Structure formats: C-alpha cells, structure tokens
Amino acid sequence: MTALAPAPVAVPDPEAHRQVAVVSRKAPIAFAVVTALFALLLLVAPREGDATFRFATVGDLFTIPDATVPGMGTAWVTVALMAVATVVAFVLASRRRRVPVWLSLLFAFVFLVGFLAWAAAGSASDIPAVRLIGGSVLLSVPIVFGALGGVIGERAGVVNIAIEGQLLAGAFSAAFVGSATGSPWVGLFAAVLSGVLVALVLGVFAITYKVNQVIVGVVLNVLVIGVTSFLYSQVLVPNAEKFNDTERFSRIAIPVLSKIPVIGPALFNQTIVIYLMYLTVPAVWFALMRTRWGLRVRAVGEHPSAADTVGIKVERTRYRALMIAGAIAGVGGGFYTVVSVSSFGKQMTAGAGFIALAAVIFGKWDPIRAALAALLFGFASNLEGALSIVGAPVPSQFMLMLPYVVTILAVAGLVGRSRGPAAAGEPYIKE
C-alpha cells in the first residue's frame, strides 16, 4: 500500500497563496506520510542485491553508462533526502510560505528512484529508463487528448462524461475507415468526425434539450459501446482483413532531437499523432487562455447569464466548444487503431475516457496541468509493466489501482481544493 501514497505530493496548491492568513500544511504532511511509509516498507520488506538502471540506446549522441547501485543502500539514501525535503517543507510552512512546485517534483522524483531501486534490487533484468518514459507517453496519448477535450467542454459549461464514448467511437471509425481506404490519414479523419458526432449528440440533448449532462454522458457511453460492439461483431469480424486491418502510421525520427540520450528515443522517435499531441496541448492552452474565443468559452462556462448580457451567444458558443472538444477526443480514439495496434476490439478503450475525466479534475481544468495529470496516469500504468519485468513484490493489481486512488485523493482535496467552472453541468435557460 505504500506505493499508493506518493502522488498527492506532486501537485502544488495554487489556491493557498490567495488565502493570506491560512497556509496549507497539506504538502509537508503528505511528504512526511510518504517518507514514513516508504521507510516502513524498507524495514518490513528488505531486499538484497543491486539494481541496474539502463539509460543508453543504440545511436545516441553520447552514451550514458548503465548505473548499478546497491538496492537497499540507494533506497535509504532517498529516504534521507525525502526526510530533508519534508523538513524544508515544514520550515517553509511555519514561515507561512508556499512549498514550491519544484520541491514537490523533486520529492516525487527522489521517491520514484528509491522505490525503483528497492523494487529492482537483486533482479536479473535492469530498469530501462527509455522504455519507462516512452511507454508512459504512449499509454497517456488517448488520455491526454481525452482530457483536453474534457477541459474545453467543462470550461464551456458542459460536463462531458462521454469522453469514453468519443474515444471508443474514434477508435472504431479509424479502424473501419482506415482499413477500408487503406490510409491511416483518412482513418484519423474519420475518428475526428465520429468524435464530433458524439459531441453533437451530447450537445443536442444537453444544450438544446437541457437534459442532465451527466445522464446524457453515461447513456451515450452505453450507446457507443452498444453500437461499436454490434458493428464489430456484425461487420468487422466477418470481413476482418477488409475492414479491420489498418495500416498504421510509421515512426518518424526527428533528426537531432531523437539522438539525445534517454529522452530522444523516448519522445522524438514517435508517430505523427504523438507530435500532434505535443502541439495540441500548448495550442489548447493558448486558445483557451489567450484568445478572444477562449475568453468567451470560459465566460460561458463560469457565468452564462453575464456572458449573454454582453452579447455572447451562450448555446452557440457551447456547441462550438463541444465540437472542437469532440474532434480532439476523436484523435485520441484514433490513436488506438492507427498507431497503437492495427485492429479494433470490443471496448478496447477500457476506461481511458474515465481516467481522462479524472485528469481533467486532477489538472484543475487547466489544459497543461490536465495533460501532465494524464501523463502521470500513463506513467503509473506503465510502471506496472516495468515492475513486473523486474519481478517487484508489489501485486500488479495494486499498481493498476494507483491512478484511481490518486484521483480520489486529489478530488477529496488532499492536494488542494479543486474547483471547476461555476456553470459546468448547468444548462443555460434564458430568461
């Protein structure tokens, strides 16, 4: 269970400095708890042997040698470092100053190194840093796109539980159209269209007919699961080679960047969809926070009647935001069948849309933070694979549980109160 605790540390508390008198002690307390639990784990379950971290891949600009460290020794060193960070955090809190973000990130990183050293101690296989990072990025792609779609929708005042449905619809259409035409580009475009289509249905019911948005979302998910599974069994399975065998995007290595050790092969030797993700995250942030369109979207989500008073068309703005959000989520769905694997499977998104929803809240409705939260979830899922390679004594189910536990902790306010757009979930009824 120790493994469940680290993540609340990673996110700082931006609300804290607004409340002048009260300084949050959540961060130092969380630091202390994590440090104590990790030390307890080391005492209860000590492991013998060395741990090896591998950094190099073929073709790097320069080679970083593998690092072999004594597992328990490294783990205890990290405990000491974590204790120091905890003391610093307490001192800062007693002086009524915020715990800076970099300290939280450093704490999380040190903890991770210590945990991996403990887990891999005495294992024959080494911990491949490149795979750890690259795999996390790949696993988080649909979550990032889904979360971006969720952020835009919620900022416009429409809670989108149907992200899962948009991802699934995107995956299905990309597989079907991509296979039928033989072009992954057309498949990706179809995924975008189907994401928009699900968003349109959501909009018709939630905006025009003012049905509770959560209900529409839940029911739309069931509908999309039903339609895609039905068509999968009826159309895709009987004609698998014609309709369910896509040509995937191939990897493109970016000339110099891909040669950087560790992060080069992990981040810059990927397919076009991943590069698209690198561009989409800042683009969405810029559009929401720095453009007139974004201001209007946020106005409609925070205070629709005020927005209406100054002449913004509330429903039209919400529809447009929802369409754009659907398009972005659709790209994430397409990732499954034109990048990740080359065929569609029933319910292949497996709850990624719900994790994306959690990332939206965890990231406090901010595109960049939401994307980082999605990366964290991707990392947590990927860590499970890495730990099973080195034979860590943590049941895989608990590692898989981690993102969800973290989300509950986040939502319950251990990392600062998360407050969404004021009018999210409320249909706008003009008076």
Partner 1 sequence: MSASQSAPAGDAAERTVAPTSPDSGGADGGPDHRWREAIARVTSGGWAVAVGAVILAVVAGSIMIAVTDPEVQKAAGYFFSRPGDLLSAVGDAVGGAYSALFRGAIYNYNADTFEKAIRPLTQSLTYATPLILAGLGIAIGFRSGMFNIGGQGQMLMSAAAAGWVGFSFDLPAGLHLFVAVAAGVVAGALWAGIAGVLKATTGAHEVIVTIMLNYIAFYLLSYLLATPGLLQAPGSANPKTPPMAGSAVLPRIFGPQYPLHLGFLLALVAVVLVWWLLNRSSLGFRFRMIGENQYAGRVAGVNVSRTIVGSMLVGGALVGAAGATQVLGLITNGFGSDIDAGVGFDAITVALLGSSQPVGVFFASLLFGAFKAGGSAMQAAEGIPIEIVLVVQSLIVLFIAAPPLVRAIFRLPQPDKHSSGRKKPRESKAAAAMAAPTTPTADGAAR
The span of 94-102, 112-120, 284-292, 391-399 binding partner 1 (CB under 8 A) equals 391-399
Q: Does 385 interact with partner 1 (rule: CB under 8 A)?
A: no
- 240 belongs to the binding site for partner 1 (CB under 8 A): no
Closer residue to partner 1, CB minimum distance, 141 or 216: 216
Do residues 269 and 356 lie in contact, with contact meaning Cβ atoms separated by under 8 Å?
Answer: no
In the complex with partner 1, the residue whose CB is nearer, 33 or 276, is 33
CB of 161 to partner 1, least distance (A): 7
Please give the angle made by the CA atoms of 122, 126 and 127, to the nearest 5 degrees.
Answer: 115
Q: Which H/E stretch holds residue 69?
A: strand 67-70
Could you give the CA distance from residue 428 to residue 184 in angstroms, rounded to a whole number?
Answer: 39
What's the rounded Cα separation, in Å, for the pair 41 and 19? 36
The span of 85-93, 124-132, 246-254, 393-401 binding partner 1 (CB under 8 A) equals 393-401
Say if residues 401 and 5 touch (Cβ distance below 8 Å): no
Say whether residue 306 binds partner 1 (CB under 8 A). Answer: no
Binding segment for partner 1 among 129-137, 141-149, 257-265, 405-413 (CB under 8 A)?
A: 405-413
**Which residues touch 90 (CB under 8 Å, ≥6 apart)?**
25, 28, 32
- Of positions 211, 263, 287, 289, contacts partner 1 by CB under 8 A: 211
Residue placing its CB nearer to partner 1 in the complex, 84 or 222 = 222
Residue 321, token pair as written in the block: 């935001």
Identity at 129, one-letter amino acid code? A
Q: Identify the residue among 133, 167, 220, 284 touching partner 1 (CB under 8 A).
A: 220
CA-CA-CA-CA torsion sign (294, 297, 300, 302): negative
Separation CA 234–CA 225 (nearest Å):
14
Residue 52, helix vs strand vs coil: strand
DSSP state, residue 198: H
Q: Which is nearer to partner 1, 86 or 381 (CB)?
A: 381
DSSP secondary-structure letter at 66? P
Site for partner 1 in 333-362 (CB under 8 A): 351, 354, 357-358, 361
226 binds partner 1 (CB under 8 A): yes
CB 357 within 8 A of CB 144: no
Count residues contacting partner 1 (CB under 8 A)?
54
Whole-angstrom distance, CA of residue 42 vs CA of residue 351: 33
User: Distance (Å, rounded) from C-alpha 51 to C-alpha 212?
Assistant: 53
Nearer to partner 1, 101 or 235 (CB): 235
Rounded to whole angstroms, the Cα distance separating 98 from 86 reads 13
Instruction: State the virtual CA torsion across 371, 373, 374, 379 in degrees, nearest 10.
Output: 130
214 scored as a contact of partner 1 (CB under 8 A): yes
Q: Which tokens sit at 259?
A: 């040669």
Near partner 1 by CB under 8 A: residue from 225, 252, 253, 289: 225
Indicate the helix (H) or strand (E) that contains 53.
Answer: strand 50-54
State which of positions 136-175 bind partner 1 (CB under 8 A): 161
Which residue in the set 96, 230, 256, 291 belongs to the binding site for partner 1 (CB under 8 A)? 230
Q: Is 1 in the site for partner 1 (CB under 8 A)?
A: no
- If one asks whether residue 204 binds partner 1 (CB under 8 A), the answer comes out as yes
Q: Using CB under 8 A, which of 216, 277, 352, 392 touches partner 1?
A: 216
Smallest distance, partner 1 to C-beta of residue 354, A: 5
Beta carbon nearer to partner 1, 4 or 287: 4
Residues at the interface with partner 1 (CB under 8 A): 161, 197-198, 200-201, 204-205, 208-212, 214-216, 218-220, 222-223, 225-227, 229-235, 351, 354, 357-358, 361, 395, 397-398, 400-401, 404-405, 407-408, 411-413, 417, 419-420, 422, 424-426
